[in-house]
Amino acid sequence: MQSANAERIEAAAARAQAALLDRRAAGGWWVGQLSTSALSTATAVMALLQAVQAAEADASELAGNDQQLRLAAPRWRALAVGGLQWLSEHQNADGGFGDTVLSVSNISTTMLVHAVFHFAAGLGCSDPAGRYPQVCAAAAAYVQRAGGVPALLQRYGRDRTFSVPILTHCALAGIVDWREVIPLPFELACVPQKFYAALRLPVVSYALPALIAIGQVIFRKQGHWNPLLRWLRNASIQRSLKVLESIQPVNGGFLEATPLTSFVCMSLIGCGLLQHPVVQKCLQFIESSVRSDGSWPIDTNLTTWVTTLSVNALQGAVDQDWRQCVDVSAVRNWLMGQQYRVVHPYTGAAPGGWSWTDLPGGVPDADDTPGAMLAVLNLRGEAESYSQSERASLLQAGTWLLGLQNRDGGWPTFCRGWGALPFDRSSCDLTAHVLRAFQLWNQRLGFPDPQFRKSMDRGVSYLLRQQRGDGTWLPLWFGNQFHRDDENPLYGTTRVLRAFASLDLLGTVAAERGVRWLVQNQNEDGGWSAVRGISSTVEETGLALEVLSEFAGLGGELGELARGASDRAAMWLALRVEAGTVEQPSPIGFYFAKLWYFEALYPLIFAVSGLNRWTSVRKRTKIARMNMD
């Protein structure tokens, strides 16, 4: 590469890193901003309108302190109207709605939006611009063209986690017959938590609140032909509500997620439980989560996740000047303070893990925990010593992950042994992340027990078995809306190869096949997307650059291929930094069950990670050549 271009790339890397440091919150860590969501907004509006209808239906029955519910109805209605206004302004040209403002239309979100406009019309919600009927009609036409209820069920297959809540939402709005809504066995929530995995529930592990609340409203509307099951479900109503109450966070938001919280809220109101404590806390969460433009995000924030990603991206810099700009001790102490120290009431997870957020609705998982371990380690210089509290924190986290590993050697997200549905199975991206964290932990402090080495060997074996015929690996929590089946082999492959680089497995056949696939799927412009031919994104290009820069330091044909591809990618990113477009996000993230999101910090974080790795490897290679000379 010409020195002039190399200097431009190095300057771009410095600018991008400075921009990432500027995005810190007052405490010194990162908060970011999740994309606003038509799906979240539709579910929040439905919950609010259900509350309005219930509060206004028979005000005479509300006495004493309960009068505040009737008085809250105008406030709920105003928030709902604001959400409807936002939705009416963000309909796609085809009449449908996507999960984010950058997403193509899909049947799930469009059905939810159509239903809420239909329901709002029945309540006489104000329509300042007079556009609600047209929005509703266009959405209905899209749903019909897309295939309606059968198409929705086909999209999710055996997984009822999202299809049944959507149908429940639509049935409450009056556009789907209750007979079309598949019942959920909410009585199973009364079984002790340790047996959940063996029950093979029709929803994933994180959807227990939906199982209880939605299952109850379906039973209330449908009943059941079997007298024994009818008796069992009637007998389980109060007990399962107690379970639901026990797992609700103090701020009311289940998983900090507006859709899940709203589904629970509208379902319990549909059971006549407006005054139930769970419903009231849900409504408080919904009210507190609305944005200034009238919309709702898919989740409150990913603060812990984006902080660990940012720290780990900065660690790859040639110099460590960023440490002078960051109060490293404050960030480290804050991060360690987010570790769960008690058994989690929601999933029953043992102490030791981290979640994606610093808020009460988070749940420890196997992606944020290794990310936090890496950040705790990287917030110390290589020659620095670790405090006893840091050592204890890392050991507790490692032990937690050790207990989460599945029999197949891979790591699932939340709970060991839940393998019936996709979002509960072992996954390549999480397994690779755990292996990276374990490797750095062992390098810095040494494993306290040989079980951790055995666990890593099983994890590597799992990844080798999961490699597909074309050399790729698929991730769980990321996709691409323009690729078939919403897959993103670019993300999965880069995460596994990043782990292989940490594990000194760059020379393996599996690694070579993965690298060759990456090189072959680079776009003509030098960037990447899920596969060649889809428009390049900053996020995906940064991920590919980070990995290929590692392989560029090798000799031989593969090293040459990786070096050429990484040089072109680094220039692609540098041009975006120079043009001021490097922070333009793309919806590559999955927030459960094919629900898209984008995060404002992702493009900057992944660009910094890739550019830092490129400059670091280039400097290392240059020094090695000088020493040889």
Residue 325 has pLDDT above 90, yes or no: no
Candidates 403, 376, 407, 380; CA nearest to 392 is: 376
Question: Of 466, 497, 524, which closes a domain?
Answer: 466
| Secondary structure (3-state) at 521 | coil
Residue 445 to residue 452: CA distance in whole angstroms: 13
Candidates 524, 548, 538; CA nearest to 603 is: 538
Residue 583 has pLDDT above 50, yes or no: yes
Neighbours of 593 (CB within 10 A): 21
Predicted confidence at residue 203, as pLDDT, reads: 47
- Averaged over 466-476, what is the pLDDT? 97
The percent of residues above 70 in pLDDT, for the chain, comes to: 93
SS3 for 75-124 is HHHHHHHHHHHHHHCCCCCCCCECCCCCCCCEHHHHHHHHHHHHHHHHCC
Residue 402 to residue 414: CA distance in whole angstroms: 13
| 566 plus 422 within the same structural domain | no
Which comes out higher in pLDDT, residue 246 or 626? 246
Predicted confidence at residue 234, as pLDDT, reads: 94
| 244 plus 392 within the same structural domain | no
Cβ contacts of residue 609 below 8 Å, gap of 6+?
A: 309, 312, 313, 316, 542, 543, 546
Residue 588 has pLDDT above 50, yes or no: yes
| 380 plus 248 within the same structural domain | no
Q: How confident is the model at residue 50 (pLDDT cuts 50, 70, 90)?
A: very high
261 within domain boundaries: yes
Predicted confidence at residue 17, as pLDDT, reads: 95
| 425 plus 334 within the same structural domain | yes
Predicted confidence at residue 625, as pLDDT, reads: 58
Question: Amino acid identity, residue 235?
Answer: A
Which of 56-65, 90-99, 517-526, 602-611 has the weakest average pLDDT?
56-65
Predicted confidence at residue 191, as pLDDT, reads: 79
Task: List the Cα angle 92/94/100 in 5-degree steps.
Answer: 30
Q: Per-residue pLDDT tens for 184-212?
A: 889 988 877 665 555 555 545 568 899 99
Residue 284 to residue 293: CA distance in whole angstroms: 18
Q: How confident is the model at residue 224 (pLDDT cuts 50, 70, 90)?
A: confident
Predicted confidence at residue 406, as pLDDT, reads: 94
Residue 445 to residue 335: CA distance in whole angstroms: 19
| 3 plus 77 within the same structural domain | no
Q: Per-residue pLDDT tens for 102-141?
A: 999 999 999 999 999 999 998 888 887 788 999 999 999 9
Per-residue DSSP letter, 591: -
| 41 plus 30 within the same structural domain | no
Q: Per-residue pLDDT tens for 384-427?
A: 899 999 999 999 999 999 999 999 999 999 888 766 666 678 99
335 within domain boundaries: yes
314 within domain boundaries: no
User: Residue-wise over 418-437: b if at least 16 C-beta within 10 A, else e?
Assistant: bbbbbbbbbbbbbbbbbbbb
| Secondary structure (3-state) at 146 | helix
User: What does the block give as tokens for 240?
Assistant: 């399962």
309 within domain boundaries: no
| 348 plus 477 within the same structural domain | no
CA distances from 530 to 134, 326, 537, 589, 606 (A): 36, 34, 9, 12, 15
H-only helix segments in 410-488? 428-445, 451-466
Which comes out higher in pLDDT, residue 27 or 65? 27
DSSP string, 256-287: G-HHHHHHHHHHHHHTT-TTSHHHHHHHHHHH
Predicted confidence at residue 628, as pLDDT, reads: 54
Predicted confidence at residue 293, as pLDDT, reads: 97
Question: Of 440, 466, 492, which closes a domain?
Answer: 466
Residue 520 has pLDDT above 60, yes or no: yes
392 within domain boundaries: yes
Q: How confident is the model at residue 57 (pLDDT cuts 50, 70, 90)?
A: confident
Predicted confidence at residue 114, as pLDDT, reads: 97
318 within domain boundaries: no
317 within domain boundaries: no
Place of tokens 């000799």: 555
Predicted confidence at residue 423, as pLDDT, reads: 65
- Averaged over 358-375, what is the pLDDT? 96
Cβ contacts of residue 324 below 8 Å, gap of 6+?
A: none
CA distances from 112 to 37, 149, 165, 178, 204 (A): 12, 12, 10, 15, 21
Q: How confident is the model at residue 349 (pLDDT cuts 50, 70, 90)?
A: confident
Write out the residue range of the structural domain in which residue 404 sits: 327-466
| 6 plus 120 within the same structural domain | no
The β-bridge partners of 36 are 297
User: What does the block give as tokens for 285?
Assistant: 């969460």
| 79 plus 144 within the same structural domain | yes
| 481 plus 447 within the same structural domain | no
- Averaged over 532-556, what is the pLDDT? 94
Residue 268 to residue 120: CA distance in whole angstroms: 19
Domain with residue 118: its CATH number is: 1.50.10
Query: What backbone phi and psi angles, to 5 degrees, belong to 411?
Result: -110, 135
| Secondary structure (3-state) at 24 | strand
Predicted confidence at residue 61, as pLDDT, reads: 57
Cβ contacts of residue 367 below 8 Å, gap of 6+?
A: 305, 356, 413, 429, 430, 433, 477
| 28 plus 121 within the same structural domain | no
Question: Of 297, 313, 343, which closes a domain?
Answer: 297
303 within domain boundaries: no
Domain total of the chain: 3
| 428 plus 527 within the same structural domain | no
Mean pLDDT for all residues in the chain:
91
| Secondary structure (3-state) at 550 | helix
Domain with residue 579: its CATH number is: 1.50.10.20
